[in-house]
Structure formats: C-alpha cells, structure tokens
C-alpha cells in the first residue's frame, strides 16, 4: 500500500512552548506519491525490515544508516514497533517490505508516514484505531504521525497533534527532490522564537475565511502572500539555490510554490494537467541535475 508523502501549505511557527516544543500552524496535503509498504505478521516479538532504497543518490545513505543495512534501532518503524509492543504484547511481530522513495531531510514526512502505516496494520480494523490512546502513542513517535493516521487534508496546529479536516480543491503539482540537507533541529533553533505560554493553541486552529475559500476553489495564486513558510528565509540564506528553484517554479507557470516543512524540497502547484506537463519540461531543462516528481492531491 502507499505510504504517502505530504507537503505544507504555509508553516507558521508563532512561538516556542513551555514544554520545549514549537507551536505550529500549517495546512498538510496528502500526496498520491510516496513509499510502498507491505506488512505481514510473523512470530510475536520479531521485527524484520526488507528495504528497496530508491531515494535520490545524494540522500540514499541517510536511509541506509537507519535501515537493516545500518543501525536498525534508530529506524522509526522499529521504534514504532517497540512502542506499540510495550503496550500490546499480544500483537504479532512484523516483516515489513519497504520501497523507500521519500528522502529524509526533505520536509515530506516520509518516516512519519511509514510509522502511521504500521499503526494502521495493527489497529486499522479495530475500534481502538481512532482512540485518544492510539493518537497519543502516535504523537510520541513523531509530531507528524497523527496526521498520517487521518485520511484527509488537515489544518495542523499545536506541536502537530491538533488536526482539523479541511476542504481542498483537488489538483496537481511537481515536487523537486533536492539534495540539500537541512537539520530540523537547527532550523527550529535558527528561528529563535521566544518561550511563552500565550497565545494558547486554540488561537491557531482557524484559518481566515478568504484562505479557506481559496483552498476550496483551488485558487493557489491568491495564497502566495497569505500562506508563508517561516523556514524559507533560513533555508534560502543557507542554500540560495533553493530560493532560485522556487522563483523558477513561479516564473515557469506554477501558481504557488514553497519550501515544504523545514526543507529541503520545493514544490509547485498548477492549474491543470497541461500546465503541469509544460512546467515539468521547463524545470527539467533548467535543472537537469535534479529529480522532479509529478503528484496529485
């Protein structure tokens, strides 16, 4: 089954919370592109991972280091298995076949999507899947994991665990799989947000009416100045070529373009399949060393 990537439409980091996490507000879109994952039960307590690493060459080693070829104890799937088994020892072990396409350090949520797939395997057919306990366990694995347990696009707030389903007009885009590596911890540290308890998370659960309307209508051009990613200035300062990539997406026909998450991938959204085909060709010509992927959402 597909373990999908996500992109962020805007990413505000209004403040650092007393618990040490950062408050976020972002729209998460699920893509129809990502990893392929198959999970089968084996003897209790056993965990096996069989990987087919198809990540772009520059980042392939990052996954190998935490796969069965490296230190498996650092792999998010193994951590998820261990967390679930600590609470549900009666569950079977797993053998996981993973075709890995979503690169690490990309802002696409690949590891979180994989973790959610394992939660779905264990609990997807039972009433516990939508319980607060399961979502709490998921959030302990990673801030983005609860989103991937949902089947919808969401407005995400809190530290990533507060979700509200939103309507987004179906559309198309192109994703640039960039080789640059941006440390999430370093990116958050670079924001230097003050530690404060207010405003409370509830303030960040709503969107402006015109933003919600533009999302429903698929009017991406109207969102260029209204949905911003707070990490872009940091990312573009460190890697100016990422800023150039965003500018080229817009100059070549994208209605909206942005860094996703804390980076380093850049995407462009378009108004139709023909425009996407033209944009894809132009971007490949201008950036022949980069890998581009078409997606729907």
Fill in the DSSP letter of residue 21: P
Report whether 104 belongs to an annotated binding site. Answer: yes
Report whether 199 belongs to an annotated binding site. Answer: no
Q: At what angle do helices 273-286 and 240-251 cross, to 10 degrees?
A: 140
Q: Is the peptide bond before 264 cis (omega within 30 degrees of 0)?
A: yes
Task: Return d(Cα 295, Cα 174) in angstroms, integer.
Answer: 6
Torsional sign, CA 225, 248, 277, 265:
negative
For residues 107 and 24, is the Cβ–Cβ distance under 8 A? no
Residue 120: closest CA among 152, 149, 157: 149
The pair of structure tokens assigned to 81 is 């298995």
Report whether 197 belongs to an annotated binding site. Answer: no
For residues 214 and 256, is the Cβ–Cβ distance under 8 A? no
Task: Return d(Cα 237, Cα 26) in angstroms, integer.
Answer: 22
Report whether 177 belongs to an annotated binding site. Answer: no
For residues 53 and 67, is the Cβ–Cβ distance under 8 A? yes
Per the listing, tokens 């804390």 go with 262
Report whether 113 belongs to an annotated binding site. Answer: yes
Report whether 112 belongs to an annotated binding site. Answer: yes
Contacts for 287 with CB less than 8 Å, ≥ 6 apart: 176, 245, 248
Task: Return d(Cα 80, Cα 137) in angstroms, integer.
Answer: 9
Task: Return d(Cα 242, Cα 250) in angstroms, integer.
Answer: 13
Report whether 258 belongs to an annotated binding site. Answer: no
Task: Return the SS3 of 183.
Answer: coil
Q: Is the peptide bond before 20 cis (omega within 30 degrees of 0)?
A: no
Residue numbers annotated as active site? 6, 144
Report whether 105 belongs to an annotated binding site. Answer: yes
Binding-site residues for ATP, please? 103-113
Binding-site residues, please? 103-113
């Amino acid at each position: 089954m597909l373990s999908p990537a996500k992109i962020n439409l805007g990413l505000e980091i209004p403040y650092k919370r007393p618990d040490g996490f950062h408050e976020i507000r972002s729209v998460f879109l699920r893509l129809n592109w990502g990893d392929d994952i198959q999970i089968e039960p084996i003897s209790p307590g056993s965990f096996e991972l069989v990987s087919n690493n198809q990540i772009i060459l520059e980042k392939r080693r990052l996954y190998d280091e935490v796969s069965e070829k490296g230190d498996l104890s650092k792999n998010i799937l193994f951590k998820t298995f261990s967390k679930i088994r600590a609470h549900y020892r009666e569950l079977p072990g797993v053998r996981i076949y993973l075709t890995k396409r979503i690169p690490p350090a990309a802002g696409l949520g690949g590891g979180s999507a994989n973790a959610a797939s394992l939660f779905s395997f264990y609990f997807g057919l039972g009433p516990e899947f939508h319980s607060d306990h399961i979502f709490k366990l998921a959030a302990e694995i990673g801030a983005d994991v609860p989103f991937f347990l949902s089947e919808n696009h969401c407005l995400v707030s809190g530290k990533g665990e507060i979700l509200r389903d939103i309507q987004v007009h179906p559309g198309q885009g192109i994703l640039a799989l960039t080789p640059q590596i941006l440390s999430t911890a370093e990116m958050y540290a670079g924001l230097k947000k003050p530690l404060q308890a207010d405003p409370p998370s509830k303030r960040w659960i709503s969107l402006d009416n015109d933003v919600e309307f533009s999302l429903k209508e698929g009017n991406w051009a109207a969102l260029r100045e209204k949905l911003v990613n707070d990490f872009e200035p940091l990312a573009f300062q460190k890697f100016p070529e990422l800023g150039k990539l965003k500018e080229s997406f817009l100059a070549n026909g994208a209605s909206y373009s942005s860094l996703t998450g804390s980076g380093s991938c850049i995407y462009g959204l378009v108004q139709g399949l023909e425009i996407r085909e033209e944009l894809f060709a132009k971007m490949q010509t201008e950036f022949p060393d980069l890998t581009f992927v078409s997606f729907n959402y």
